Structure 1
């Protein structure tokens, strides 16, 4: 039976649309920060299949430029990740202060630091470096550092990514941000235990909208170079303003309080109010990331729950 030209054209358009949807799904990044020590000592294979990228935290040199971390077992982890088509990057910096970088990023020492990072990347067949320098660790040498690091990584077809936040916005130059293949926007910690005088939700959906609007619209960064950072943890405050605040992983929250996975706040028997992201909000944030970014970033993967309460599983299902 002959197929009409009109029918052939219709099938061709349908095939193109299907390929386009498939490409969009495949390009959606799910970036998980994962502890380096945990990676070298063992891993949960089920998590790897949901992640496109793993950032191993943190690979920081000491003040003399030496790395004291134990990398034994890392090669096996990287091989397993690559079998799942998951890229693995070293993440440098972190939320805690790393004063050694002020010294190591100076003009006469920066090349040595970059060379040492490249040795590690090539030795363990990593896919790149994630730069998570924050706050006072973003020095006036930051721009030159990421320019030089990007040049070294791209020459070897490796990635350079970054963790950025709106509360450091004035410290990031346009030239520095232009070096990154993509940026993980940390849309959390609007409130935190180290500022207990300001209790409340630390990672609302509206915060995510504002953060992506700033980097995507005001800083004119294409959506393909942004991922939305989400928390797999919560903070608890109360019952008094003077009461010590607490941190708690999502896994522990939902294991302790039945039904907590369906909401974003939970009142504990001790009178504290926990603020976090439950399943409904995580689904909404995934939809937002699909529209205004190119993926989701997670801090951090080990704090996820299992089964139907898993936030990672919800992200995966929502982004298909």
Structure 2
């Protein structure tokens, strides 16, 4: 074989390999989404070699918010390497706005006189930093009579730029987003966790059971008629501790910390801590059942949040990929 012919073969082989990897990733995404929330601040300083891009289809950066006057003043340029690294692995990156807790200033930003500027600012940020869209995590009482108009306007503006519009939703404020608003999203991430927590010490117990996931999916799939292809089941990589009596202060701990401090706890959904407190979380078997449920009733799994995982064979993200992509 001549050198020129050998060079041509090597070039064609390289092109074929690149296309095969791209097609494999595209097929993987269509088959099952794995959406992971990741701290925006952590992403700015991340060791990119440690970010599990190979096990994700989307990363939502939590959280991108303006100041109370509606101005985005944070320098986002440190996110550029993170976004480029994600795109190199075929992973989409979306900043997530609002988040849990109250954001009273959002009521002003969504009004008719300020909404267009707010939408324009979000779209400009998505374009400037090569994000793949915007994730809307406006929750609870922050959802008001202007929410629907905001979502419609944001969707139209992002679609024109070929960007995604996604959202985090939950049953705790299930009647607040209108059907029309929900239909705007390319897909929604169902937060099936926090059914109890430190804010309700009088209701100790697991906050994110398999039965919770079944009921939450049933409401949004059946009552709100969100199709399977547009809903992603959310799971939590953390637990809440209660007890030993109702006067005890509840605590929280991420899954990685739990399995590190309590060997074998990955094989259960609760562990008794020093002092008698019971920590409730999702271990391997429950997570496996939830992924199987998501394959049947949804289009993937969303994780709050990736940095709460454990390494090695105890990793829930690894399990999600193994079960989610198993035939």
In the superposition, the TM-score normalised over structure 1's length comes to 0.91
Q: Deviations over 1:137-193 (max 9, x none)?
A: 001100000000000001111000000001111101100000000000000000010
Tell me the equivalent position of 1:242. Answer: 247
The answer to whether the Cα contact below 8 Å between 1:150 and 1:179 also exists between their aligned partners in 2 is yes
- Tell me how far apart the structure 2 counterparts of residues 101 and 262 of structure 1 sit (CA, whole Å): 42
Tell me the equivalent position of 1:12. Answer: none
Pick the aligned partner of 1:255 from 237, 252, 260. 260
Pick the aligned partner of 1:52 from 51, 54, 57. 57
Q: Deviations over 1:191-217 (max 9, x none)?
A: 010111111000000000001111111
Tell me the equivalent position of 1:174. Answer: 179
Tell me the equivalent position of 2:302. Answer: 297
Q: Deviations over 1:8-31 (max 9, x none)?
A: xxxxxxxxxxx9xx9477430000
Tell me the equivalent position of 1:27. Answer: 31
Task: List gaps (5 residues or longer) in structure 1.
Answer: 1-18
2:229 aligned with 1:224? yes
Tell me the equivalent position of 1:165. Answer: 170
Give matches, 1:188-207, under 5 Å.
188-207=193-212
2:72 aligned with 1:72? no
**Cα deviation, residue 79, structure 1:** 0.4
Say which is worse superposed, 45-54 or 100-109, in terms of deviation: 45-54
- Tell me how far apart the structure 2 counterparts of residues 24 and 123 of structure 1 sit (CA, whole Å): 28
Call closer, same or farther: CA 1:44–1:287 in 2, change over 3 Å: farther
Call closer, same or farther: CA 1:61–1:245 in 2, change over 3 Å: same
- Tell me how far apart the structure 2 counterparts of residues 158 and 66 of structure 1 sit (CA, whole Å): 22
Pick the aligned partner of 2:40 from 36, 50, 55. 36
- Tell me how far apart the structure 2 counterparts of residues 201 and 181 of structure 1 sit (CA, whole Å): 31
Pick the aligned partner of 1:148 from 145, 148, 153. 153
Tell me the equivalent position of 1:113. Answer: 118
Aligned residues: 300
Which SS does the other structure have where 1:208 is aligned? helix
2:121 aligned with 1:127? no
The answer to whether the Cα contact below 8 Å between 1:37 and 1:70 also exists between their aligned partners in 2 is no
Superposed structure 1 runs of 4+ greater than 3 Å apart: 22-26, 43-46
- Tell me how far apart the structure 1 counterparts of residues 63 and 82 of structure 2 sit (CA, whole Å): 16
**Cα deviation, residue 116, structure 1:** 0.6
Call closer, same or farther: CA 1:170–1:91 in 2, change over 3 Å: same
The answer to whether the Cα contact below 8 Å between 2:207 and 2:280 also exists between their aligned partners in 1 is yes
In the superposition, the TM-score normalised over structure 2's length comes to 0.89
- Tell me how far apart the structure 1 counterparts of residues 47 and 164 of structure 2 sit (CA, whole Å): 23
Task: List gaps (5 residues or longer) in structure 2.
Answer: 1-22
Which SS does the other structure have where 1:111 is aligned? helix
